[in-house]
Amino acid sequence: MCDTVAFPAAGAGPALFGKNSDREPGEPQLIQYVTVDSVIPDEVRAAGEKPAYVTDALPVLRSALASLRDGGRSTFGALISRPSWMWGAEMGVNEAGVAIGNEAVFSRRRSPGKPLLGMDILRLALHFSANAAAGAELIQELVAQWGQGGDGGWKHKTEYSNSYLVQDRTSAWLVETSGSRVRCRRTDAPVGISNTYDGDNGWGSWPNLKRTDERRLFAVGARGRVRNELKRPWLEGSRPMSRVTDMFALLRTHGRSDGSMRRGMGSICIHTGRLIKSETTSSMVVHWHPDGPVAWATGSSWPCLSLYKPFVIGAGNPVIAGTDDQPTAILLRERRERIGKWANSHPRLFANSALRLRDETEARFLNLVYDRGTTPLGGVVARCHELEADYMEQVEAGMG
């Protein structure tokens, strides 16, 4: 399960996008800069992890990708958060400043045959869209031509339709799908989505997918409505959304006034429980700064226990493993995960010994990025990731 929010620029306020990706516990999710040619479908290292993806999803992806290439569209590189076993992405932002996140929604309808996986659709839209309107239009085209659905689970089969938030600096587009059906609308106001269809407000003549297509018991179990309520104070303005750190706070929330950890599906930051086999495995924030969009990502599970780090939305990330070096990227994630698992098992110890250091390190990142003057962002990002290594060493020393 997931949560995505979009805050298009309004007045003097910033444009911000954020998503928590909630997946099966332990699934590796990698932060990588990719072009449309990076990790081409035939080379996805998936055979040992998800054979059905290679058999069912890759052939239709190859066809869709070839069709888009033949159309002569411009292409864009993108910074993505990608489950290691697939070509597609849970979320990302491209070099044109288009950010996209998706959500599982539960429909009675299925696309016939072997359709495109929702996360492959998301990455295709990032690579071929110059603005948010174009991204929303392309998602509709892909669903109409190829259908969408398929098995999006890692170790357990999970089939679902998708909703998407597509944002650039000035606008956001909500796209909902139900099998091969699709509807789309623009909003210039803050908007959030979760694992339930939107109601009929603002959709005009589009079909009401919530009333006609939603599998209500699945939607209730996913608790998307509950998490949408948790977002409401930020979306409606009773809690501020004027800085990057406000988006960090939203994505870290458990809905408790004392800020304490909460397990189960009723949190934005999800921690698995006895009966709940889902958790937040990656988190990303995009800020459209006057100098250009800046991405912040955890590269690890549980944002409430993790460190948001800056990334370049381009090829200038000297400190993160490239797409052609997946084993190194996984090792870096595993180190972050060891700290997260310790903190998740010992939340009071983390709060007493590491939380202040985490917040101080993040504050240094923010100062380096936004007070850098004429220093290239790539150099600042490299310094921030050096500081992350120092942070991890200090926390590891106290883990015992």
| Cα 326 to Cα 332: distance, rounded to the nearest angstrom | 10
Q: Which of 2, 184, 269, 384 is catalytic?
A: 2
| Count of CA atoms in the C-beta half-sphere (13 A) of 249 | 13
Q: Residue 29: helix, strand or coil by DSSP?
A: strand
Q: For residue 342, give the H/E element and its range.
A: helix 326-345
Is 269 in the active site?
A: no
Structure tokens at 274: 């006895």
The label of the residue with tokens 């996913």 reads 222
Contacts of residue 355, Cβ cutoff 8 Å, sequence gap at least 6: none
| Cα 203 to Cα 191: distance, rounded to the nearest angstrom | 14
If one counts every other C-beta atom within 10 angstroms of the C-beta of residue 276, the result is: 18
Distances (CA, A) of 322 to 126, 129, 293, 329, 371: 18, 22, 20, 8, 27
Q: What is the CA radius of gyration of the chain?
A: 20
Residues serving a catalytic function are 2
